[in-house]
Each structure stands twice: as structure tokens, then as C-alpha cells.
Amino acid sequence: MRKLDTSDRVHSRLEFRDSLRAHGFITQNFNAGCVSAPFNETDPPHREAVKVYSMNALSMLRLLLVTALCLPCLARSQSFDPQLASRLQSTLDSMRVAQNVKGISASVLLPGQGLWQGTSGVSHATVRITPDMEFGIGSNSKLFTAVTLLKLVENGLLSLDDSLHAWLPSFRNIDSTITIRQILNHTSGIADVNDIQGYPDSILSNPLRVFTREEVLGWVGPPHFRAGTSWSYSNTNYILAGMIVEHASGKRLARFLRDSVLAPLRLDSTFLPIEELVSGSIAHPWANDVEISGTPRVSLLTTAWSAGAMYSTSSEMAQWYAALMSGRVLQEESFRQMTTFVGSGNYGFGISEKTVAGRLLWLHGGSIRGYSSQMMYDTALKTVICVLINATPAPAALVAQQLLLTLVNSPITDISEIGNGVRSIDIYPNPSRSLFTIRAAVPTDARITDILGRELWRGRIEGTWTVDAASWSAGVYLLFAGKRTYRVARW
């Protein structure tokens, strides 16, 4: 078992206390045993957060601003179609009213169009939600934790088939022969600590207490099944994953995550609590229609950690998914492992696969006390949808689904028929960086347009035909051949 270098602590207890107080996370002295308002909600606590940058991370960000080409820059340089933007905003507003939601921040990243950001509702009182506001993302934190582990695999520091005993001490009710792969895809059988009777009450009754990882794991109950024989979602798995990241890297999780993922992608409004200082504008959380921003969260932050404590903005979450799915974050083999979906949850590493409204999606939800989130990636359109809500309970998944339907059914995109019927056209490679080869079973008149209908190519396909797309921008295009429509992707 390798030891964590504790000299990597980036901020003192005093700095953390002052940061929490300044942003309303505590209302009295950090060491006090009482709070100004008791926890009286009945919903179980999950994850909440605060934020951070060290000088090294900021220096790296400044350097990247000058030297790096990144997806956010490309997205913002494109002009999102105003008609489609208006339809998406109308959907967001109508869903907020219909579902009685306090406030929503949403983003859609559509290849060839760029980034749309929409907000609706309020943070608190008369303060409206703004695009730069940060929300708790709950279990959408798990994908970040999984990716940091995969980064360590790529660096040769560990293997997905390593057993827990190679990196961690023994814990009651946790089989030390369970592998890293099994904790990431929830086939470990380890019980979810959040489901243990008395655990949520302990957190709520001690809101100023700093819980150690060992204390949290001490609550874990007997396993549900022998590792590898079934599937069951467990937050405990990702607490163990975060601990392994620290032991293998020799750094605190927040530091390694920022150095290896967040800083290179310029996700400077995305952060992990406790080890990072608060910065930026945080949307006020609501639980059961009661604002809870004045309630201390120290216990929630320390128990949440790598299983669901992160914060972000909707635009950065969309950029995160787009960068990850386009191959800018992980090597090909790591990505294949992440998207190998198993069990009844159809789960990979920090992400699952599901068909929604006839679309094959990779997605994940998150629910922490006061915040709800939903991420969706349409595997055909290469489009990302993010919805963040400052309330629990809240239908983030339903709002995201309605945004997807608005996108698919829009006359601007006109893509609802893609993939239906018998194929008479073959396109390869698809996606491509330059040349597409189109093969038709019978002679066919065809044309290719972007999603706004602007024609880029027209011709008659007889047998095999090659189209040069080297001058096209990266994005999704449509091939119309006879009565059929096909998606063509240019990277």
C-alpha cells in the first residue's frame, strides 16, 4: 500500500473556514458546535460543495489562454442559430413554470452551431440565475473521478485489474480483492453508505463536523453480492476510487484532478470542495421549497467528496462532455473501457447508456441536497445537453429530455428521420477528417447540407463516389439521397 504525501495540502484549515464563512457555507466559528438554523428537512443529504485555485493552477490557466486551442474557444466563435436558440429558451421557460422549478441553467453544445446557454428562474429573492452561476453537480462528479483513475492507468501507475489491497488498507464489509474496474462500474457488491440507517441523520445532526474517509467507510454495511456477479449502484465505490487516486498519484484528489483534467481544459469554474477555496457566484440551494444557503455544509462536503461533491456551470459541463467524447481527454483504449456498459444499470465508468425518445444517449444524473443535474450526450448527433437546477427534488432529467426533443424536432435541424428504414447508402469512414466515400446500391441523386440547410455538395451517386470535405468545419452534416436522410460527421 502506498502512502499519500500529506505535504501536498494546498490550503490551511483557517483559509478553508474563512472561505466557507464568506460564501455562506457556515454561519459561526468553524470550531463551534452549533449553527444558526437546524437541519429539519427529511430528504437524505448527498453532496454539496465549495471551490479553488492554487497559484500553480492559475499560472497554468494563463499560459493555456495564450498557447492552447480549445473547444470552448471554438464553440464561442460559432454563431448559434437564433431560431433554434429561441425554441430552446422557450422550452426551458415552459418547463420551469410547469414543473414549479426555482431556477435552471442549461447548455447545449451542437457541432456546427456551437454553444447555447439558457437560464430561467431565480437563485434567491429577486436575484436571477445567470450563465456563470455554479451549481452542485452531485453524482455527475463520478465521471471526473473515473477519468482521473484512467489517467493514472495511462501513466502506468496502476491497472484497472489491481485489487483494493494494492492501494488501500482493509475496511470492514469491503472485500480487499475487489478490483478497481469493479468499483468503477458498480459490480463490486459493496453497500451504498448513503442507504445505511442512521448515516444521513448523523450528517444532518453534525453539520459543522469534518468527517474522515475512514469514518465514512466505517458506516458501510454487509455486501449485496459477491464481486463481479451482479450490479448495484453504490456511492461507496467512488469514495474508494478517490482514495486510490490520492495514494497512486501522491497528491490530493483536487490537485491531481485540476492538474490532469480541469486546467488543461480550462474548466476554471469547476471544482472539488474542501481542498479548494470558494470562488465565483454560487446559485443558492433550495430543498423542499425552502432556501438552505444559510445552513452549514461542512459535514455534507466531507462525506460527499469524490462520489458527488463537485460544482460547475452548465457551459463548462457541456464543454467537459464534448472534450471527453471527442477524444481530447483520454486515449482510445481508456475511452473504450469507460464506455463498456455492464449490468442492469448499463453502466460504464461514471456514465451510463440509455435510449431516450428513440435516441441512444450516454448520460448521468446527479442529486445533492439543494441541487439537481442531468448530463446527456446524443451519440448520433455528437451533441451535449446539460441541465442544472438549484433545488431538490427537481426533474433535471425531464428538462434535459425536453431540450433534446426540441432539438431533434426543430425544422432547423430536421434530423428525426435519421437512422430509420433500410439503408440504400453506405458512407465511410464516418466520421472523417477529409474524404467521405459514398456507395449507392442504385444510382441516386444526392446533396449534402449543414444543419441550417446550406448546400455544400450536390451530385449523382452511381456506384462509389468520393466527397472531399477537407474545407468543411468540424460538425454534423446531412446527406439527402432519395427519400432518406443520413448523418455525416466531419471531425
- The secondary structure of 291-310 as a DSSP string is E-TTS--HHHHHHHGGGT--
* Residue 468 shares a structural domain with residue 359: no
Which pLDDT value is given to residue 154? 98
Q: Tens digit of pLDDT for each residue in 302-336?
A: 898 999 999 999 999 999 999 999 999 999 999 99
Write down the pLDDT at residue 451.
63
> Does any domain span residue 35?
yes
Helix (H) or strand (E) holding 89: helix 82-98
CA distances (Å), origin 118, targets 113, 126, 134, 374, 440: 15, 18, 14, 15, 42
Quote the number of domains for the chain. Answer: 2
Instruction: Point out the least confidently predicted range of 227-231, 268-272, 385-389, 468-472.
Output: 468-472
Task: Provide the pLDDT confidence category of residue 25 given band limits of 50, 70 and 90.
Answer: very low
Domain that holds residue 170: 6-409
Q: What is the CB-side half-sphere exposure of residue 404 using CA atoms within 13 A?
A: 29
Helix (H, G, I), strand (E, B) or coil at 212: coil
Residue 67 φ/ψ, nearest 5 degrees = -105, -15
Q: Which residues of 136-162 are buried (b: 16+ CB within 10 A; e: fewer)?
A: bbbbbbbbbbbbbbbbbbeeebbebeb
CATH of the domain at 390: 3.40.710.10
Cβ proximity of 403 and 93 under 8 Å: no
How confident is the model at residue 29, as a pLDDT?
33
Dist CA 232 CA 139 (whole Å): 15
Residue 418 lies in a domain: no
What per-residue confidence (pLDDT) applies to 484? 73
Quick check: bond before 429 cis, omega within 30? yes
Q: What angle do CA 399, 400, 402 make, to 5 degrees?
A: 65
Instruction: Establish if 417 belongs to a structural domain.
Output: no
Is pLDDT larger for residue 441 or for residue 347? 347
Does one domain contain both 246 and 191? yes
Residue 110 · residue 407 · CB < 8 Å: yes
Q: Return the CATH number at 464.
A: 2.60.40.3080
Q: Are residues 156 and 294 in the same domain?
A: yes
Gap between the Cα atoms of 58 and 70, Å rounded? 17
What DSSP state is assigned to residue 260?
I
> pLDDT tens for residues 191-222?
999 998 888 888 888 888 999 999 999 999 99
Entry pTM: 0.73
| 375 and 432, same domain (yes or no) | no
What are the pLDDT digits (tens) for 250-282?
A: 999 999 999 999 999 999 999 998 888 777 899
Establish if 36 belongs to a structural domain. yes
